[in-house]
Structure formats: C-alpha cells, structure tokens
C-alpha cells in the first residue's frame, strides 16, 4: 500500500459506496499505520489506491474509520485554517471550511452513526470527504494562490512519474 500523489488519476475519481465492510476491516489497520507513519490526521481510501467511500482519521481522540459519510447539517459560518495533504507533500495553504458539520456515516461493522464535528475535527472531515468526490484542498484556493503553488504542484507530478517508471 502506497500513498498516491497528485497527478494520479484515482485522486480525481468519484469513489463508490462501500457495501463490503469486511474488506474495509481487512485494510483498516494498514491504513492507520500508514497515516500515523506519515504524521497524517486523515487518510482517504483513494489516497491508497482504493476507490471506495471511506477514510481514516485521528483528531487527537483516537482512530476513527468513517464509511459512506454524508454531511447532513453544517454551520452557516466558515473559517480559514491551514491544511496539508499526504498526496500533496510540502504544500500547505489556508482553506475556508464550515466551523461544524453533522455527519451521518457507518463504522467498519456497518453500524450507522450521527456525530457532530467541530473546529479542527470538522476540517479533517470536510477535507477527507472531499477526497471521495475527487476534490483536493487546492481546488478551494483562490486562483492567484493556486498559481503561486503551480511550480510545487508540477514538482510533485514529476516525482510521481519518476516513482511509477
């Protein structure tokens, strides 16, 4: 299992709904291991080459596996905060996100949960959920900032091509 870098087409695909929860359970531990090893606070399935709607996260309160997430309610207000992404190494930028989101999701046993995430945790949830629709945090940036990042993005794409040679 390897982290897919910017430029990999799987990062731009819309992931499919999870129906096989046993499969998620079978890769859960390895996924968390990679996330912690890379000092990430979240890791979405497409980032490890699996085009399914789930992600791992740890906002400081222990590991969570979030499957088939849906934001069912959110704050009116948004706030800016810095984000990075394991698929975009070395790139950090401020992104506007809802202050809180209410999430409906399933755990790795298929049980349905509803949970309120606030602040930093809400930011992780929104970032990771975006991955399931092929959206990256840089897509939320104003075009001038995105332009500034362009040489860095090209570097990552080159790095990826070197790796896949």
H-type helices in 41-141, by residue range? 119-131
Shortest spacing between CB 98 and Zn ion, in angstroms: 17
Catalytic residue, from 38, 77, 128, 163: name it: 128
53: which residues sit within 8 A by CB, 6+ positions away? 15, 16, 17, 18, 45, 67, 68, 69, 132
Q: Is 52 in the site for Zn ion (CB under 5 A)?
A: no
- Part of the chain binding Zn ion (CB under 5 A), chosen from 9-17, 62-70, 81-89, 110-118: 81-89
- Part of the chain binding Zn ion (CB under 5 A), chosen from 52-60, 78-86, 105-113, 118-126: 78-86
Q: In b/e form, how buried is each residue of 106-145, taking b as 16+ CB within 10 angstroms? A: bbbeeeeeeeebeeebbbbbbbbbbbbebbbbbebbeeee
Q: Is 11 in the site for Zn ion (CB under 5 A)?
A: no
Q: Is 124 in the site for Zn ion (CB under 5 A)?
A: no
Shortest spacing between CB 115 and Zn ion, in angstroms: 20
Rounded Cα distance between 48 and 5, Å, is 9
Query: Both tokens of residue 118?
Result: 């606030």
The one among 27, 85, 101, 103 contacting Zn ion by CB under 5 A: 85
Active site residue 152: no
Q: Is 18 in the site for Zn ion (CB under 5 A)?
A: no
Report the interface residues with Zn ion, using CB under 5 A.
Answer: 85
């Amino acid at each position: 299992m390897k982290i897919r870098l910017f430029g990999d087409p799987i990062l731009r695909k819309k992931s499919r709904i999870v129906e096989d929860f046993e499969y998620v359970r079978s890769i859960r531990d390895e996924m968390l291991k990679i996330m912690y090893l890379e000092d990430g606070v979240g890791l979405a399935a497409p980032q490890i080459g699996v085009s399914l709607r789930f992600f791992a996260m740890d906002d400081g309160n222990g590991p969570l596996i979030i499957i088939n997430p849906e934001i069912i309610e959110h704050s009116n207000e948004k706030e800016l905060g810095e984000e990075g992404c394991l698929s975009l190494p070395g790139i950090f930028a401020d992104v506007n996100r809802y202050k809180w989101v209410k999430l409906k999701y399933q755990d790795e046993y298929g049980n349905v949960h509803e949970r309120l995430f606030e602040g930093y945790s809400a930011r992780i949830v929104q970032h990771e959920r975006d991955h399931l629709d092929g959206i990256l945090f840089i897509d939320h940036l104003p075009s001038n900032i995105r332009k500034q990042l362009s040489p860095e993005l090209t570097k990552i794409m080159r790095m990826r091509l070197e790796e896949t040679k």
